[in-house]
Amino acid sequence: MNIAIRLALFLSLSFGLNIVPVNAQQTESITELQQNIQDLKKDVLKLNRNLFILEEDLLFPANTQFSVFLSMDSGQLFTLDAVQLKIDDKIIANHLYTERELDALKRGGIQRLFIGNLASGKHEIIAIYTGKGPNDRDYRLGKTISIEKGSDPQFIELQIIDDPSKEQPKLNTRIWE
């Protein structure tokens, strides 16, 4: 079967057009073509996944890969509005939160604030949180941490936790090993 006929059959099958077979041989040929199309679709999906993995490896090599995540507990003492993230006095992420995002975080979700490359060595990370605190007061909280980036990928989780003893939000940092 030549390319033009195959392409015409592929397009007609893809767009749901009906082809009325004339005889059993054509029916068999169309069934075989449909199977070939399904196999091609599977191959394309597999290739797409492999290309995505390769792209991630090329853009974020393991020796410089650095990621920052944000999580929060129930959020009774602090309602998050926005986060700003700086590394070595350079702003790398800003995020304004919607109600749906806050709800997901309060239910245990974790948000990836940043993924990128960071050279080995010492770095200073500053996270600035704005929102509403107890008694609906405007709050601006900050957390500064110093890290030593090695040759392995590094993952940091910024946690917003209620501190009932002080009736204020508390900021924690967790470095994933």
Q: Which residue has the tokens 């390769």?
A: 54
Domain covering 65-176: architecture? Sandwich (2.60)
pLDDT at residue 129 in the model? 92
pLDDT tens per residue across span 75-106: 678 889 999 999 999 999 999 999 999 999 98
pLDDT tens per residue across span 132-146: 887 888 889 899 999
What stretch(es) of the chain map to CATH 2.60.40?
A: 65-176
Torsion of CA 72, 76, 78, 81, to 10 degrees: 70
pLDDT at residue 123 is higher than 70: yes
Nearest Cα residue to 72 out of 173, 161, 133, 167: 161
pLDDT tens per residue across span 2-49: 555 555 555 555 555 455 555 667 778 888 888 989 998 898 888 888
